[in-house]
Amino acid sequence: MDLNELSVLALWSAMAIYALAFIAFAIDLAKRSAEVTAAGELTASESSATKVQAASDASVGGSRASTTTLTRADPDAPQVQPKRSAVLRVAVALTVLGFLLHLTAAITRGVAAERVPWANMYEFAMTGTLLIIATFLVVIARVDLRFLGTFIVGLVLVLLGIAAVNFYVEIVPLPPALQSAWLVIHVFVASTGTALFALGFALSVLQLIQYRRQAIGADLSKLKLKFVATLPGSARLENLAYRANIVAFILWTFTLIAGAIWAERAWGRYWGWDTKEVWTFIIWVIYAGYIHARATRGWRGSRSAWLSIIGFAAVLFNFSVVNLFFKGLHAYSGL
């Protein structure tokens, strides 16, 4: 078995593991819904609203100081605090395992091809989704966004499935136009940006759902998607989405600039309104609009969330339709 066959095997194994992780994440959401139903019945029977508050202890202790404990009521805390979930831990562990196999697939492909593993559509998809998972794992180590697992792993699974079945190409050497250090930088940064946009998109969708839930009121029995009661409040989701999107926006700006520098070297002009350039520009403008919307009265909240969703739709369009069906200089899908 040569390295490329090993890469293919590792990728399919990663997909199998991700499928299991996806199921585990979905079970966790179902469990959360069950907890919310139970909490709803409990509140109904007690007919008194239990308010769960996240307390943060900001006190300072010491021999010479008496401490004043301040309890900060966090309006953004989940209405129903989810219980510790074994299945969620299994899901994360499976995701890490899948990630390691996925990483093996990318590395062996790169070694077999003697270059970075992102020179055609199949490889973009493989490395791009790897970065989505990597970003997700890095983020959940710092902020508990494990509830996004179903979405993130599901998205990656769909993209990988399409790539492995429809986009697979044998290893071929780089055409002269791609033989540049900028291939390493420009495409890698664009893929990382895409990963963060995906995270921002998922958070914005949840923000909208959460906002509607909060608008309905605290009555848990009326909820359709019950698990959202275990997620942070819409304002917190919005802030998290914003943070993911602005980091992605910086990376996207860099992608545009690096792309322009490369285009100057390879094509003799730094900007020429090539279809891919046009769509990269459109995405940049949409997210610029999103950032402005966050600072515009009347546009904060749900309206800006829609812009984040439209922005990510444009990102997906740029990756799929523009690559495959539009004529232009970025014809590197290898298909």
Shortest spacing between CB 136 and another protein, in angstroms? 19
Which is closer to another protein, CB of 91 or CB of 116? Answer: 116
Nearer Cβ to another protein (61/217): 61
Interior angle at CA 77, CA 71 and CA 79, nearest 5: 115
Q: Maximum distance among all alpha carbons in the chain?
A: 73
Nearest CA-CA partner of 127 in 196, 195, 197 = 195
Residues that bind another protein (CB under 8 A): 58-68, 70, 72, 170-177, 179-180, 239, 242-243, 246, 249-250, 253-254, 257, 260-262, 264-275, 278-279, 281-282, 285-286, 288-289, 291-300, 307, 322, 326-328
168: Cβ–Cβ under 8 A, 6 or more apart, which residues? 8, 122
Give the position of tokens 């790539």.
Answer: 163
Please give the Cα distance from 173 to 181 (Å, whole number): 15
Coil/strand/helix, residue 85:
coil
| Residue 71 C-beta: closest distance to another protein, Å | 11
For the CB of residue 265, give the shortest distance to another protein in the complex, in Å: 5
CA dihedral 166, 138, 13, 332 (to 10 degrees): 20
- Between 38 and 58, name the residue whose CB sits nearer to another protein: 58
Closer to another protein at the Cβ: 85 or 304? Answer: 304
Joined tokens for residue 257: 């600039």
For another protein, the closer of residues 162 and 288 by Cβ is 288
* Nearest distance in Å: CB 226, another protein: 28
Q: Which one, 48 or 68, has the nearer CB to another protein?
A: 68
Handedness of CA 153, 154, 157, 162 (dihedral sign): negative
In angstroms, give the least distance from the CB of 269 to another protein. Answer: 7
Would you tell me how many other CB atoms lie within 10 Å of the CB of residue 36? Answer: 23
Shortest distance in whole angstroms from residue 34 CB to another protein = 32
Assess contact for 188 and 118: CB atoms under 8 A.
Answer: yes
